[in-house]
Structure 1
C-alpha cells in the first residue's frame, strides 16, 4: 500500500488550512479580512483627496479660487488625512489581532493534527520517513506556515483590496484611461502565476532537503557516543554540509523567484504610469477629462500597484507557507498503513490468548522487494509460554511486530482466539499486551512517570498516592526499587533523553516494571533480561516466572537456558518453523534445537579470546583481594575541584552584527553587488517620484498644446527608462542577495552543527537530542531576519527615504524640513512595535521549541508509544504544551497590536502635515505646484516602503536572538577538544598498558549531594590481555569505558595509556586506536556498506579484502548474500530494517575494519544467537591476540578465561583476579557465578 498523499492545489491547500479554524478563529479571520479590505481602500481613497486638492491647486494657480477659499478647502481636506490615519490604526489593529491570533491558533491545531496523523500511521509510517523528517513537519514547516497565514496574509489581502479599490476609483473617474491601464492586470496575473509556481516548486524541493538534513542531524546527535568513539564528528559535519549545499540552489531559487516576480510587477506598474501619462495627456487636451480626474486615475493606479511591491516579502512568505502546508498535509492525509474497520474493530469479551499464523507472507514497507516471512504457519497456545529461538535474522522480532499489529502481512492471516487480527480493535489488542524489548526506550521524564505509563492502557485512573504504590510495587518486582531510591531524586529522578542517564540494566529493569504494572493478559519478552547482572536476572526471572501464570507469554531467547521453562519452544529458520516442542522433546530429537544447545554449550564456555596463557595482572592491592574503598566524603571533596559550569554570555548588538558580518565576508563581493543594486532600486523609486511629479506638473501648463504634449511624452519616455533600470537592478539584487542569504544560513548552520559535534558528552547529557535537532531545523526560519534579502529590503527603504528627504529639501527646503520632522515619529513607532512583537515571539518560540522537542521524542519512540497505548496521553500533553505557548504569546499581543497600529497610521499624519503646510506655502507664493508635487510624490512612495520595513523588525529580533544563542555555543570551548589535532601528543600506537589510577568521577550536573559514580578506581590492562569488568547494573562499568575513550575527564586521578595521561594526547588520535562496541547498537540511515566504513579513518582506502575479512569475522557474509542489494541494502532509520543481531554484527564488523589496538566491548554479543555468538567470539578472540581488550560482561561464562576480572560494585573495585582466584575467595563474584550457573 502506498503511503503518499495526492498533490493538492494552492486553493485546496489554503482551504484545508483555514478549515482548521474554530468559530472564534473564523470570527477573528473575518474581522481581519474586513480590516484588510479597509486598509487596502485607504490609499486609493486618499487619491480622491489628492485629485481634489490638485484641482484646488490648479484653481488657485489659474485664479479660479481665491486664497481664502483655497485655504478653507485645504484645512478641511487635510483633516480627512487625520481621519484616514485613525482608520488605518483601527484596520492595522484588526489585521494584526485577527490574522496573528487566528493564525497561531490554526497552526497549533495543525501541529496537533500532524502529530496525531504520525501516531495514527504508527511504526510503519515512522520507519519509512524517520523522526528527523517528521519533526521538520511539526517544527520548521509549521513555523513557515504560521508566518505566512498570520499578519502577512492580512498584508497580502490588503494589497489585493488596494489594487481592486484603486482600479474601481480609477474607472469611476475615467473608464477609457482606466481600461487602457487595466491591461496591466493581465500582466500582473501572468507574472504572479509564473512566479508563484516557481516559488512553490523550489520551496518544495528545498523543504525535502531540509528534512534530509534534519534526519542526519538527529541521527548524529542521538548516536553521539558512536560518532565520538569513531572520531567521525568531522565526517558527519561534512555529510550535513553536503546535504545543505545540495539544497542551496533550490532555496536561493525560491527567494530569487519571489524577488523576480515582484521586480516584474514593479516594472509593469511603472510602464503603466508612462502609458497613463501618454494617453491621459491626449484625453486632457481633447477635453474629455480634467486634471483632477487624470491625477486621481494616475495616483490610484500608482498607489495600488505600489502596494504590491511593498507587500512582496509577505506574498513570498504566503507562497512558502502554502508549499509548507502541502508538505504537512501529505503526512496528515497519507493513507494509513494499518487500517481498522469503520466501527473500530471487534472487542471480544473474553481473551484466551491463542495466536495462529496461517501462511503469512510479509515484507517491510521500506524494502517491499525483500521477503521476510514466506508462508509462516505457527500456533501460539493460550495461557502458555512459547519461546522463539533461532539464528539472528530469522525474524523473531518481526513476529513480535506483527503480533502487536505494527504491520499487516501482505498475504495470509493472523488470528487471535479465532478472530482475524485485522478484524480486532487495535486499541483493545494492544491494551491486553505488554512488551519488554532488548533495547528499551524510556522518555525524558521521571522514573515514576516512565513506569506509570504502563497504566495508561488499563483505562483506569488512580489517585497520586495509589499510583505511587502501584509504581513502587512494580519496581520492586523488577528489582529496580533499590537503585531508584539511591538516585538523588528517587522516583522523581529524570532519566534523560532515551533514558541516557541510567545504565543499560537500569533501563531494562524500569521497562520490565512498566510492563508488569498493567498485569497484561499477553506478555511479549524480547531478550528482556539481556542487559541485567546475574543477581538481578535471577530475581527477575523468578518474578517473570510468577508473572507467566494464567497468561500467554511469547519470548525471544538467544540464551537457551532462559527458554528451558517454556511450555513450547519454536525453532525458526529461513523457511519458517523448523521444529517445535518442549525443551526435553527437542533435545531428544537431536535436530536443529539440539545443535543450538550444543553450540551454546561451546559458546557458554568460550571466552572472548582463546589460546592465551592466563597471566594475572598485578595490582597495588594484590590479586584476588578486596580493594580498599574510598569514602564518599573524600570523593566528593576531590570532585569539588572540577571546573564550574559556564554561564552563558550576553552578547551586545554590535557583537551580533560583527559576527554576521564575518560570515558574510565569504560572499562579500556578491553581497556588495546586491546592496549596490538595492541602492539603485531605492534611488530609482525617488527618481520615479521626480519624473511623475514633473509629468503631473506639465498638466498645469497653460495653454496645453503640442509643446506640453511633447514635454509629457518626454517624461513618459524617462519613466520607461526608469522601469528598465528598476527591473534590471531588482532582478540582480534579488538573485545576488538570495544566494548570499542562503549561503549565510548554510554557513551558520554548518558552524553550529560542526561546533555542536565537537562538544563533550556532558553537553549532550544536558541537551536532549530532540531539542538540539529542533534548534537546527528551525534556524533557516529564524535567520531570515539577518538574511541579505531582508537587508536589501531595508536598504531600499532607507535609501528611498533618505533620497526622498534630500530631493524634497533640494526642491523646497521648507517642505523638506516638514517632511523630515515627521519621520522620527514613524521610526519611533515602528521601533516600539518591533520591540513588543519581538518580546512576544521570543517567549512563544521557547515554548514551541519545547513542544516540537517533545513531539520528536515521541516519534523517536513510536513503537513504545504504540505498545503502551500512549497516543491519547501524548496528544493531550502536546496540546497543553501548545496551549501554554499560545497563552504566553497572547500576554503581549494587545500592546504589540496597539503600537503596530500607531506605526502604520503615522504615514497618514505625514501626508496631512505635508499637504497642509505645502498648500499654505503655495497660497503664500513660497512654493510652486511643481515643488509641491515633487515633495509629496516622494512622501507617497518612500514613506510606505520605509514603514513596511518595521513590519520585519520582529524577524530581525528573532534572528538576533538566534545568533546570540549560536554565538554562545561557538564561544563554549569544550574541555575535551576533539576538533583539532593542534594540541596534544599523537598516539602513534597504543602498545603496552591502559590503566586507571585512583580515579574519582561523577557525571557533570549530578549534584554535590550524590555519591560519585566511580570512587578511587584502580585497574590495569596490558597488551594482548583480556580484562573483564563485571558487577551489578549501574555499578559504573560502562563509565570506565567512557573515561578510557575520554568522553569525560575524571575529577581526580588519571587514565593512563602507555604510562601517559590521556589528557596529554590528541583525542582523535587516541580514539583512532580504539574500537567501541556497545549493547545499544547505533546504525545510521544509509547502506550496509556506508555503516561498515563509518569507523574507518579514510573509507576510500579500505580495500575490498579488508571489508570482506571484517564481514566474515562478524558472521555477516551469509546475511548480506541473502539480500538482493547486498552491501547496498538500506538499513533504515536506526537500522530498524534489520534484526537486533544483524545490527550488532554490523557494529562488530565496523569496529574490526579500523584494525584497532584496543577493543572496548560493552556487552558486545548480548543480542546474538548462539551460533553467531560463537563465531563472533572466536573472531573477537582472534582479533584480540595482539590487542588490549576490556570487556563489560553480565554473562560471566563469556569472560571466565580473562587474564583479570574486576568486580565493580557501587563505583568501586571490590575484587579482582582470575576466575579461579575469585571463586576461591568466596566473595561477590563467587555469589554471582553460583546464581548464574543455577540459571544456566
Structure 2
C-alpha cells in the first residue's frame, strides 16, 4: 500500500485559522456586526407580537394600537431582510477570498513537494485533495461557515433578548443545554477521525483506479484483472465501512438533538403558565418568552446541522494543509559550487528501509563528459540518474556538484545546473509557445527566433511548421493532439531552452522509433557540446558514442571505461554489445 500524504495536526489547523482571522479581522468584525444588527431587528418582533397579543386580548388602545404594532413589525422585518442580505453578501465575499487564498497556498505547497514523496504517495491521494477536498471545503466555506456565523450571532442575541423578558427564562434555557452539550461532545469526539478516514478511503480508490487504468495493458498482458478487481473491491469495502461509521454517528447525534429542543419549549410553557397564574408575569411576557425560546430552535438547529458539514470541511482542510507538513528533502547551505564536476562517493540508496538499491557507488564525472549508463532492468541505472539530478538524496554517501551536495543547493539553482529528462512527458494546456517558454527563468521573454532555434536543435521545426497556427497552436487537453514523439520533441526543446550544464537522459528517446531517435540524438550532440551528459539507455549506440560507459549490475558499477576498452575487456558490456550487434 502506498504511503499517504500527511494530514495537518490540530495545532497547524488552529494556527492557520488564527492567521486567517488576523489577516481579515476588519472583514470578520464587519460581518458579525451586520449579522448582529440584523438579528436585533428581527428580535424586536417577539416583543411587538407579545404586546399585540395582549392588546388584542384586553382590547386596550383599539384597532389603532394593533395597526401601529403591525406596522412596526413589518418595518422591523423589512430592516432585518435588507441587513441580512448585505451581511450574507459580505460573508460570501469573505468565504471566496479565504478559499482563493487556501487554493493558492495549496498549489504553492504542492509544487514544492519532493518528487520522491509524490511518487511514494501516488497520484490518487494528491488528486483527491486537489479535487474532492477542495470542492468539499469550498462548500463549507461558501455555505456552512456563513450560515454558522449567522446562527451563532442570532443565538447570542436571542438569549440576551429572552433574558431581558425575565430572569426566569434562564431556567428552561439552561435545562436544554445538557442534552445538546452531551450529544455534541459525543459527536465531536468521534467525527473528525471518522471523516479523515472516509476521505482517505476515497484517495485509495482513486489511486487504485488510476494505477489500473494507466497500467491497463500490463494488467491485461499478465492476466491481473481479477487481482485488480479484488483490490478495488477491498478499497470500496473500506470506504463503505468508513461512510457507515460516520452515518451511524449522525443517526445517534441528530435524534438526541431533537430531544434537546423539546425540553426548553415545554419548560417555558409550564413555568410561564404557573408564573402568569400567580400574576408574576403578563400574557405579553409569556408570549414573548415562548417565541424567543422557540426562535432559538432554528439557529441552534442550523449550527448543529452545519456542524456535520463543518466537520467534513475541517477534515478536508486538514488534508489540504497536511501537504505543508511534508518534510523538505533538502537543506540549502548557501554554498556555491566550484566548477561543474559531479561526484558520487560511496553512495547507497534505499526506496524502502532495509532494501538497498545501490550498494556503495563511486563515480566521477568531469565537466563536459558524456557518460552512458547501461545494464539490465532493475539494476539501479535510473536511480543513479535521479540522484545526480537531485530528485532524491542518497541514504548514505554523497552526490556533489562542484563540491556541493545536490540536496544542499536551492531547488531553482539545482535545476539551472542539472536537468533530468525521462521518457515521461507532459504537454500543458496552452499554445506551443507557452509550453516552450515554461523552461525559461522569466516565461514570456524569449523571442520567437530563440524558440525556433531550440526546435531546430531537436529536429522539430518541420512538424511545428505544419501545425494550424505554428507556435500559436493550442495544444494539451482540448487542443491539438501531439503524438508521443512530438511531445518528446517538445520536452527536449524545453531542455535546450533551460540550458543546464548537466543533462541526465533517462530513456528520453524511447518513445521515438529507433531511426528517428538516432537522428535526434545526433542533432542533439551538437547542441550538447561542452555539457555533461548522463545517458541511461538500452540502445547501445548511445554507449558507442559516449566518452565512457558505466555498466550497472545489482546496484553496483561493475565496469567503467570507453566503449572500445570495455569491448576489448570481454566482460558484461562486451557480451551486451555482441548481443546488440547480432
Correspondence for 2:282 among 921, 928, 942: 928
2:494 is matched with: 1150
d(CA) in 1 for partners of 2:478, 2:418? 23
Q: Secondary structure at the match of 2:482?
A: coil
8 Å Cα contact 2:357-2:555 kept in structure 1: yes
Aligned residue for 1:697? 54
Secondary structure of 2:430's counterpart equals coil
* Equivalent residue in structure 2 for 1:1000, among 348, 351, 354: 348
Of 804, 808, 821, which residue of structure 1 is paired with 2:158? 804
Equivalence for 1:1097:
441
* Residues 418 and 501, structure 2, Cα contact 8 Å, conserved in 1: yes
Write out per-residue CA displacement over residues 424-447 of structure 1, whole angstroms, 9 at most, x where no aligned residue: xxxxxxxxxxxxxxxxxxxxxxxx
Aligned-residue CA RMSD (Å) = 3.1
- Structure 1 residue 669: Cα displacement: 2.8
Q: Secondary structure of 1:759's partner?
A: coil
Instruction: Look up the match of 2:430.
Output: 1086
**Alpha-carbon displacement from aligned partner over 1:1197-1217 (angstroms, at most 9, x marks no partner):** 223232221111111111111
* Match in the other structure for 1:758: 112
**Alpha-carbon offset, residue 1015 of structure 1:** 1.7
Per-residue CA deviation, residues 557-579 of structure 1 (Å, 9 max, x unaligned), is xxxxxxxxxxxxxxxxxxxxxxx
Matches within 5 A, 1:773-792: 773-783=127-137, 787=141, 789-792=143-146
Deviation track 1:791-840 (CA, whole Å, cap 9, x = no partner) reads 44333333333333322322222234333433443343344455566565
- Aligned: 1:984 with 2:334: yes
Give the corresponding residue for 1:1195: 539
Give 1:661's aligned residue. Answer: 18
| Structure 2 match to 1:34 | none
Q: What is residue 571 of structure 2 aligned with on the other side? A: 1227
Rounded to whole Å, the distance in 2 between the matches of 1:886 and 1:926 is 58
Alignment of 1:96-111 (within 5 A): none
SS in 1 for 2:558: strand
Aligned equivalents of 1:1086 and 1:1236: distance in 2? 41
Match of residue 825 from structure 1: 179
Map residues 28-67 of structure 1 onto 2, 5 A cutoff: none
The secondary structure found in structure 2 opposite 1:1100 is coil
1:938 is aligned, of 284, 292, 296, to: 292
Range that drifts further, 793-802 or 1224-1233: 793-802
> Aligned ranges for residues 439-458 of structure 1 at < 5 Å?
none
* 1:679–1:795 CA contact under 8 A, matched in 2: no
Write the deviation string for residues 574-609 of structure 1: whole angstroms up to 9, x where unpaired.
xxxxxxxxxxxxxxxxxxxxxxxxxxxxxxxxxxxx
Which of residues 10, 15, 22 is equivalent to 1:651? 10
Paired with 2:262 and 2:160, the residues of 1 have a C-alpha distance of 20
Q: 1:835 to 1:686 in 2, by over 3 A?
A: farther
Q: Which residue in 2 is equivalent to 1:221? A: none
Distance 1:1202 1:965, change over 3 A: same
- What CA distance in whole angstroms lies between the structure 2 residues aligned with 1:863 and 1:1125? 35
Match of 1:749 in 2: 103
String of CA shifts for 1:1173-1226, please: whole Å, max 9, x gaps: 344223221122221112112222223232221111111111111111111211
Rounded Cα–Cα distance in structure 2 between residues aligned with 1:1061 and 1:837: 46
Does structure 2 conserve the Cα–Cα contact (< 8 Å) formed by 1:1113 and 1:1175?
no
For 1:155, the equivalent position in structure 2 comes to none
SS across alignment from 1:1028: strand
Which region of structure 1 is more displaced relative to structure 2, 734-743 or 679-688? 679-688
Is 1:735 the equivalent of 2:123?
no
Shift in Å at residue 983 of structure 1?
5.2
Q: Which SS does the other structure have where 2:394 is aligned?
A: coil
Q: 1:585-734 alignment to 2 at 5 Å?
A: 650-652=9-11, 656-702=13-59, 704=60, 707-734=61-88
Q: Distance in 1 between matches of 2:270 and 2:5?
A: 60
Q: Which residue of structure 2 aligns with residue 768 of structure 1?
A: 122
Name the CA distance, whole Å, in 1 between partners of 2:216 and 2:6.
36
Counterpart CA distance in 1 for 2:484 and 2:427 is 11
Report the counterpart of residue 959 of structure 1 in structure 2. 313
Deviation at 1:1042, TM superposition (A): 0.9
CA deviations 1:351-388 (Å, max 9, x no partner) are xxxxxxxxxxxxxxxxxxxxxxxxxxxxxxxxxxxxxx
Alignment partner for residue 1013 of structure 1, among 354, 357, 371?
Answer: 357
Task: Give deviations 1:693-734, integer Å, cap 9, x for gaps.
Answer: 2222221233x5xx3322222222222322232122212222
Tell me, yes or no, if the aligned pair for 1:1029 and 1:1206 is still in contact at 8 Å.
Answer: yes
What's the secondary structure of 1:1013's corresponding residue? Answer: strand
Q: TM-score, normalised by structure 1?
A: 0.44
Cα distance change on mapping 1:866 and 1:1195 into 2, 3 Å: closer
**TM-score, length basis structure 2:** 0.90
How many angstroms apart in 1 are the aligned matches of 2:554 and 2:481?
A: 38
Q: Is the 8 A contact 1:671 1:736 kept in 2?
A: no
Deviates more, 1:1095-1104 or 1:665-674: 665-674
Q: Distance in 2 between matches of 1:795 and 1:992?
A: 59
Deviations 1:1098-1140 (A, max 9, x none): 2222121110111111111111122223223344359993222
The structure 2 residue matched to 1:1121, chosen from 460, 465, 475, is 465
Instruction: Give 1:1228 deviation, angstroms.
Output: 0.9
How far does residue 769 in structure 1 lie from its aligned partner after superposition?
A: 0.7
Deviation at 1:882, TM superposition (A): 3.3
- How far apart are 1:914 and its partner, in Å? 0.6
Q: 1:986·1:1069 contact (CA, 8 Å) conserved in 2?
A: no
Give the CA deviation at 1:789. Answer: 4.7
Larger of the two Rg values belongs to structure: 1
Structural mapping, 1:342-421, within 5 Å: none
Quick one: distance in 2 between partners of 1:851 and 1:1173? 38
TM-superposed deviation, 1:976? 1.7
Q: Which residue of 1 aligns with 2:373?
A: 1029
Corresponding position of 2:406: 1062
Contact 2:133 2:317 in 1 (8 A): no
Structure 2 gaps of 5+ residues are none
Alignment partner of 1:997: what SS?
Answer: strand
Contact 2:269 2:290 in 1 (8 A): yes
1:1173 is matched with which residue? Answer: 517
| Structure 1 residue 862 displacement after superposition | 6.3
Task: Report the more deviating stretch, 860-869 or 803-812.
Answer: 860-869
Offset, 1:1236 = 0.8
Distance 1:804 1:1195, change over 3 A: closer
Deviation per CA, 1:1032-1072, whole angstroms, max 9, x where unpaired? 12211111121111111112222222233334332211211
Displacement of 1:843 after TM fit? 4.0
How far apart, in 1, do the equivalents of 2:234 and 2:374 lie?
45
Residue deviations 1:1138-1195 (CA, integer Å, cap 9, x gap)? 2222222121111111222122212233333455334422322112222111211222
**Take 1:1134 and 1:1018, find their aligned partners in 2: how far apart are those partners?**
47
CA shift for structure 1 position 951: 1.3
Q: For residues 481 and 218 of structure 2, what CA distance do their matches in structure 1 show?
A: 17
Q: Distance in 1 between matches of 2:495 and 2:105?
A: 29
| CA gap 1:802/1:649 in 2 versus in 1, 3 angstroms | closer
- For residues 796 and 955 of structure 1, the distance between their equivalents in structure 2, rounded to whole angstroms, comes to 15
Cα 1:1179/1:795, change in 2 over 3 Å: same
